[in-house]
Structure 1
Amino acid sequence: MFKSEQIQLGISACLMGEKVRFDSGHKRSHFCVEELGKHVKYQAFCPEVAVGMPVPRPTIRQIRKQDMIHVARPDGSGDVTEAMQAYGKKVAAKMQHLSGYVFCAKSPSCGMERVKVYHENGSGSESVGVGVFAAEVMRANPLMPCEESGRLNDAIIRENFVMRVFTYHKWQCLVETGLTKGKIIQFHSQHKYLLMAHSLKAYKELGQLLAQADFDVQTTASLYIAGLMAGLKNKATRRSHTNTLQHLQGYFKKELNKWQKAELSEQIRDYRNGLVPLLAPLTLLKHYLLAHPKAYLQSQVYLDPYPADLKLRYAY
């Protein structure tokens, strides 16, 4: 059961529809506001307004000067680099309550990647930068899932981001209750097949980490969540989902008759070959789980990693 009303995400204010852009406009994200917004609360930031820039205002860009990146107007005036870095450090240090962040793509302040960096002599630009504010947020919160608005138009990237947000939120809730060895092991047990679908390597390594007879809770917890979030960042594929589905299928080998086994195998095979979406074999597995309850499988986050009304698994 999701405590989604408690999930808080950071977001660029313009993506919420706030008219804070240089031209008094916005870049309202339908997905963030209308769809994901049903399940999360947002804390909006506009670093450009926060450092005193007016609305409307002259455009700013990243300019490389003697191997240093500056944020200023195209002619180099109105440099706000230091002010924006200071603001970024200040607010980034107070984001431990956030479970994710959505940045405005390509912005010199908020772009997560591929921000244009212009040459001082005016001889062109390269899309190699990171927004000054975004860089501070990500540096201070390396585990927090971050994505930018443009990339969320990709269905697989969108699904992966939301899945990581809900997973990270569950971990944050666990930490608030006080970590113990048993709680960490139980958390891992519930997320094993979700992790398997994204990174078999991380699945094995984290299993070995928690298999140690006597581990220090805090040290192991830090290593575990870092490994989990890194593993989940990998995009799942039809091949990796198929492997996971086949593992789940194995739990019903004694309960299903030969026709039911054949039907489930066919659904998984059709999914692997791209003939049906992931929901097809998952729905059948859930049907058999209702008919033949298994507490371990029912606890698996893989079956329902986020609210179904987000319709994110249609991408697979």
Structure 2
Amino acid sequence: MINEPGTAGEQAVRPRVAVSACLLGEPVRYNGGHSRDRFLTDVLGPYVDWVPVCPEMEAGLGTPRETLRQERSEEGPRLVTRTTRMDLTGRMTGLAARRAAELDVDGYVFKAKSPTCGIHGVPVYRPDGAPAERRSKGLFSGIVMERHPLLPVEDEGRLHDPLLRESFVERVFAHARLRALVEGDWRPRDLISFHARHKMQLLAHDPVLYREAGRVVAAAGARPREEVAARYTETFRRTLATKAATGKNVNVLQHCLGMLDLDPVRRADVVDVIDAYQAGLVPLSVPTTLLRHHARGEAAAYVRDQTYFSPYPDALRLRHHVPR
């Protein structure tokens, strides 16, 4: 049985997050340096278990090393060293395939613009060194993303955007909670409880997929355990991969308000705050904090225990940006 939401036990579920090792400060860059990212190491680091990966080091290139780039070819982009023209495509794709096959994490943060690890905007050159003709993914990251299409993935550059940062962290912690469930000795009642606690969070992303996940839960007692876990995991992750928009959040906030027994004055106050959020005047943290404050007592337990109100540790303070 997994821990109930809001308890110290559930907050103790630590996501496993793969990360380009240089972003944690490891001296594995081509020049022997690193690209330490303070959000990852100082802010997110205390709440996750990192799985550092450096494809270049694992491929035996060492550091310092000759720089790499992607070049155009008839077979697709090739990974070559800039000066000696060594072709490392086969070595890197083989490593990526092996790594992807054994990968068991809740998210991945790649090094931006790297020819091996970038997730977008990686230049592809002509063999004569002419400027990039198009943009691509890294050779290593592209294979990982292809094999794990629902894995939360970002690079450190995109995580500077507060909306992308919150979305990534929310998905990572949700994946970790589900992993803690399915890796344990769960029963249909545990899955029912898990789905119920995540109702508002899932509705904020995709109501249609939320209902699809509910149908999987409803059949849990009549289907093989492994089949149910696989189907629910896939649907749960697809739901969270859909962007949560302001309108969906407003619907969820109003739904939660309708389940609380408040006097007319307090109800009007909450409505005003929800309207302010919808108008882009206050961040999502304002109405969610107010609703959580009012969700007191046994009658409001269902609302209070929704993961929507605390999808990750509150100390990360990720909901303080206004909608756009």
Decide: shared fold, TM above 0.5: yes
The farther-off stretch of 271-280 and 28-37 is 271-280
Distance 1:245 1:272 in 2: 11
1:62 and 2:70 aligned:
yes
Q: Higher relative CO (CA 8 A, sep ≥ 6), structure 1 or 2? A: 2
Distance 1:169 1:303 in 2: 17
Distance 2:134 2:12 in 1: 36
Q: State the 1:31 CA deviation.
A: 0.6
Identity %: 36
- Tell me the residue number matched to 2:175: 168
- Tell me the residue number matched to 1:37: 45
- Tell me the residue number matched to 1:217: 225
1:134 and 2:141 aligned:
yes
Distance 2:247 2:282 in 1: 14
Q: Are the counterparts in 2 of residues 155 and 312 from structure 1 also a CA contact under 8 Å?
A: yes
**Residues 262 and 292 of structure 1: CA distance in aligned 2, closer, same or farther (over 3 Å):** farther
Q: Are the counterparts in 2 of residues 197 and 240 from structure 1 also a CA contact under 8 Å?
A: yes
> Could you list the runs of 4 or more consecutive aligned residues of structure 1 that deviate by over 6 angstroms after TM superposition?
none
AA aligned opposite 1:296: Y
TM-score (norm 2): 0.89
Aligned length: 313
Match of 1:236 among 234, 240, 244: 244
AA aligned opposite 2:284: L
AA aligned opposite 2:159: L
Distance 2:117 2:125 in 1: 16
1:150-208 Cα offsets, whole Å, 9 max, x none, are 11111111111111111111111111213433222221111110011111221232223
**Residues 177 and 297 of structure 1: CA distance in aligned 2, closer, same or farther (over 3 Å):** same
The farther-off stretch of 122-131 and 196-205 is 122-131
Q: Aligned Cα RMSD in Å?
A: 2.0
TM-score (norm 1): 0.92
Q: State the 1:3 CA deviation.
A: 4.5
- Consecutive unaligned residues of structure 1, counting only runs of 5 or more, are none
Q: State the 1:65 CA deviation.
A: 1.1
Q: Are the counterparts in 2 of residues 179 and 217 from structure 1 also a CA contact under 8 Å?
A: no
Distance 1:141 1:178 in 2: 25
Q: Are the counterparts in 1 of residues 13 and 180 from structure 2 also a CA contact under 8 Å?
A: no
Distance 1:270 1:138 in 2: 38
**Residues 185 and 128 of structure 1: CA distance in aligned 2, closer, same or farther (over 3 Å):** farther
Match of 1:115 among 122, 137, 140: 122
- Tell me the residue number matched to 1:265: 271
1:75-124 Cα offsets, whole Å, 9 max, x none, are 5711111111222222333322x221110011111112222112235443
The farther-off stretch of 135-144 and 171-180 is 135-144
**Residues 21 and 156 of structure 1: CA distance in aligned 2, closer, same or farther (over 3 Å):** same
Q: Are the counterparts in 2 of residues 72 and 79 from structure 1 also a CA contact under 8 Å?
A: yes
